[in-house]
A and B are shown apart, each in its own frame.
Chain A
Amino acid sequence: MNSNLDSQSTMPTLTSYKILDYVWIVLMALTIGSALVAESAEPSLLVTIVIAFTIGIKGRLVVDRFMELRNAHPYIRFAMNFYFYMLPIVIVLVFLFPETIADLTRLKR
């Protein structure tokens, strides 16, 4: 193994290594943004969509960049990403149609 790879000084030149820094900053910003929404905004469709979208973005960033599934086996990548497509959709549906979903899930009619 080449000794220059053992040197920490070579690390900052790595593209994907540096990209992780930016991904982390975006994730921090999205989390703090969600917290500000939690503290200030009243419930609304727009707020719900923004929160659901934020979950999708954060999930995709972790799956693609931290978990490194961007070029992994397509079944694994699809399954993980599917989770973060479906959940935001369910969040919005529950906000839009709570009575309908309550009726569908009621045991006694």
Chain B
Amino acid sequence: MVNSSAPDNGIGTVKAVPEAAAAQECLPADNRVPGNGAVWVGIFAEMTEFALMFLVYFIAKVHYPEYFDEGPLKLNTTAGVLNTLALLTSSFFVAKAMSSVRKGNIQLAIRWLWGTVASAVAYLLIKTWEYYWNIQQGIEVDTNLFFTVYYYMTFNHFLHVFWGGGAILWAIWRLKSGFYTAEKHEGMEAIACYWHMIDLVWIIIFPLLYVLR
């Protein structure tokens, strides 16, 4: 059974559950800081950076409404949807991996994280193809202000997926090396939170650039 009597410091620990349910599940402790404090400084800094980009988007949209009305129609919506499905699925895999680690099932967690890596690679390939498709359609950074915002926002996000994928590979290596266990896995939880942040940002970018007019 997972050691539910581990000291609860509120960070990356599990809380005790009733005996009958203990064999099934250990839930994250209440009022905890998931992962560690440092990763949340990073997450809020990143969210603020993207908030500024969204602010630029909104201001540009009200000043150049014609570009922002036509822009989404010229983009490849299929690529945007596939990117969204890939990232949401990658987040789902990370959540499954975290749940598996809490159960002590390290091998299953590793398999879920490989699914995340596969989803991230799919995202990067689709986005690369989308940029290639754009250039074939004559859509470039300086085509108009909508596409300048589009390239700045999506390429910035592209880089986050790239290095976030690297962090997931690091988590896989740490799992394989036995650094993370059912009781101690705050490093993996920090990486998981960072990955979910990347997914959350895309949840906003997709409708702003591909859907709203």
Contact = CB atoms under 8 A, between A and B. Distances in A.
B59 A59 contact: no
B106 to A, nearest CB: 9
B99 A20 contact: yes
Contacts, number: 160
Interface stretch (B20-28, B121-129, B134-142, B170-178): B20-28
B81 A72 contact: no
A14 B25 contact: yes
Interface residues of A, number: 58
B34 A4 contact: no
A54 B98 CA distance: 26
A66 B63 CA distance: 37
Given A5-B1, A94-B58, 4 more contacts: A2-B1, A71-B28, A84-B200, A98-B62
In the A-B complex, the 4 residue pairs with the closest CB atoms: A38-B211, A24-B92, A102-B62, A66-B95
Interface of A: 1-2, 4-6, 8, 10-11, 13-17, 20, 23-24, 27-28, 31-32, 34-35, 37-39, 43, 48, 51, 54-55, 58-59, 62-63, 65-69, 71-74, 76, 79-80, 83-84, 87, 90-91, 94, 98-99, 101-102, 105-106
